[in-house]
A and B are shown apart, each in its own frame.
Chain A
């Protein structure tokens, strides 16, 4: 479909003189004017004027740089802190922490690509073909792995609380590393098509260059409903399954921190749901438009475009919340973080004493070592 045509050939205009010159050159036998001239604009049934993309482009120009910058700064700081704290740990990290480390790593790489997309929204893709493949690939890999690790964390907690399987004894810590590695390899493999098909492409319709997948879109669009179900509902289902069982187990147990654990679980699921549901609802509307179940209409579609831009950003914002939800809620993690701050000279020793005191008292409570270990992740 024109792949072998040359690339700078996307848009070409003819003015009226050129057109009349051109049609003047054609012999009347070949081209019957009288037939064509019979058509009158008013006689045509409802010719719709072509859509304009000004609204969505103007909106993205103002909204995306601001919001992406926010996610970039907050996400990089939060996830950077998680990485710094976990890297300093001397003992072998328990399973959940390994996954949290990987999650933080994936999230920080994901937000690191956001400035590029912001620049693309403001100017166009100015970075060339190679960077398009690299940045697009990094984005996709980490987008995948971020959700993978979220599911891993919930599954790990499920196993350790419902089945009281200690995922972090010596033989299992090797397993955890293998699983993490396998996920990364898998995500890289899944991104191979992106590396092949991502290209800087000039789009004459929007009069801008962008870094996009050069695939025939027809077959891709037919998979859309399927995509939405499996990309969102499956992780959500996995999380809901694991956490429901955890909640049931917790309700039966007598624990000091039970209420807190329950709150944290609800927050984890609710935040995932709140961040990604709007996006998938908009995608659903978009799918209905694509299959023409909803009417195609420029104004309506431009509103859907704006909604999609906003909800996608909200989805990315989830990256910023992960450190809070998974790392900073744990007492052990907060203590380690305070220790790190003291080492760096950000807080003094008295401050550290005051704030780590709380957790040492908790250790003396009715909690056994294993239960506590299971709960610290929460």
Chain B
């Protein structure tokens, strides 16, 4: 009887620990972009564009443009035409 209880407890714990997240190694989900991304911006206002691939801290692709003249940063939708083209340009530059 006692052994039965003991092993049931162990089994329950087993289930618990399969799913637990270890802290320093599992990153928080923290994407840079919140809310709605811009569908597009005026090309001549882009000072810089940076592309972020999905990583441990965010499972989306993100494209951030720095706008002239104030240097404000905005998120650009990667899935729309302009964003996609900039992303491809960035990838091409790498090659």
Contact = CB atoms under 8 A, between A and B. Distances in A.
A224 B47 CA distance: 40
Contacts of A31: 81, 85
Given A15-B47, A296-B34, A231 B55 contact: no
Q: Counting chain B CB atoms within 10 Å of each CB, which of A5, A227, A286 scores highest? A: A227
Interface string B25-62: 11111111111111111111011111111111111001
Interface in A350-366: none
Contacts of B24: 117, 120, 136, 139, 211, 312
A204 B47 CA distance: 19
B1 to A, nearest CB: 10
Nearest to A316: B23
Nearest to A25: B89
B11 to A, nearest CB: 11
A97 interface: no
A344 interface: no
A291 to B, nearest CB: 11
Contacts of B78: none
A212 B89 contact: no
A203 to B, nearest CB: 5
Contacts of A163: 2
Contacts of A40: 42
B12 A227 contact: no
Interface of B: 2, 6, 9, 12-44, 46-59, 62, 64, 67-68, 72-75, 81-82, 85-86, 89-91, 93-94
4 residue pairs, one from A and one from B, having the closest CB atoms? A230-B16, A50-B32, A231-B20, A212-B56
